[in-house]
Structure 1
């Protein structure tokens, strides 16, 4: 009886193919550990446009968490536009009070 054997190595995908190339600067800020023991802690973080050093900047005035009751149709309308609906409500309220 004859079987079709496939070359597994040729047909498998390498998950590293989608990974971005690391730059020297990325290696400089990365945490270095051996066996779970941190040898050198990280000195920065990767931002949307590459390497950013230090802690992310804080807002001048942090937003306040509040409990607010809204009509269901208002919430549904903002949620219908997808992620970021709470920020859009905040922007609508800012416009309504003239900010």
Structure 2
């Protein structure tokens, strides 16, 4: 499956449920890291958790590395990569650890 899109799931701290504020924070981090031209990239925030501690965004594979570099160097809000994939449903899976009692 060949797609031009790349999907990324981030943890956000402090919690920010407003997609516009998150978009602005990412844009500011990109401009601060790469300048005006390097910071103008395509991205869409597809989902923000109700409590504001997670978000999913869509971008291109080429721009995904720029986004990670920029947001990890930004101070507020703290945005850290949780998972990434070129297949959006893959971001919804979570790994579950079983205790011995569950076996």
TM over 0.5: no
> Greater CA radius of gyration, 1 or 2?
1
TM-score, normalization by structure 2 = 0.20
Structure having the larger proportion of residues in helix: 2
Structure having the larger proportion of residues in strand: 2
